[in-house]
Every structure is written in structure tokens, then in C-alpha cells.
């Protein structure tokens, strides 16, 4: 068992902030994007997918059968 786990910290929950220069050049600067994604997960990704050219538009964003998901 790692020292972090012994101290009650789950490694999956740790946050590593990007370097300032990297963050400054990010394509998305809106910090509320996380809230938008949380409010409507499928709608959020569907709106970004519509920014791309598709020969055939999808009928469904993905199949969700926990713990598995299949993006369509």
C-alpha cells in the first residue's frame, strides 16, 4: 500500500494543475465548461460532435451499460 493510500488519499482523486503557460494556451478558457458538461453530459458531447463533419449523423450518443459505455 502506498503512503498516499495509507494517509487516506485516493490517487485517483489527486489533482495536478497544468503549468501556467500550458493553461494560458488552452483552446477552452471557460471554467464553467465543467458545469455545462455535468448538467447535460450527452448534450455537451453532442454539441462538440456537431462541430465536426459527419457523413451520417448519429441517432444516439452512446450506449451506457454500467460499468461499460460504447460511443456510437
5-9, 13-17, 68-72: which has the minimum mean pLDDT? 5-9
Residue 63 CA to residue 60 CA, distance in Å, equals 8
- Three-state DSSP at 71 gives strand
- How much is the pTM? 0.53
Comparing CA positions, the residue from 59, 37, 32, 35 lying closest to residue 47 is 37
Sign of CA dihedral 23, 53, 32, 71: negative
Average pLDDT over residues 34-56: 90
Amino acid at each position: 500500500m502506498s503512503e498516499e493510500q495509507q494517509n487516506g488519499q485516493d490517487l485517483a482523486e489527486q489533482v495536478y494543475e497544468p503549468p501556467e503557460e500550458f493553461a494560458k494556451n488552452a483552446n477552452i478558457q471557460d471554467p464553467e465548461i465543467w458545469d455545462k458538461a455535468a448538467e447535460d453530459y450527452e448534450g455537451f458531447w453532442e454539441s462538440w460532435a456537431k462541430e465536426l463533419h459527419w457523413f451520417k449523423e448519429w441517432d444516439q450518443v452512446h450506449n451506457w451499460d454500467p460499468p461499460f459505455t460504447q460511443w456510437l
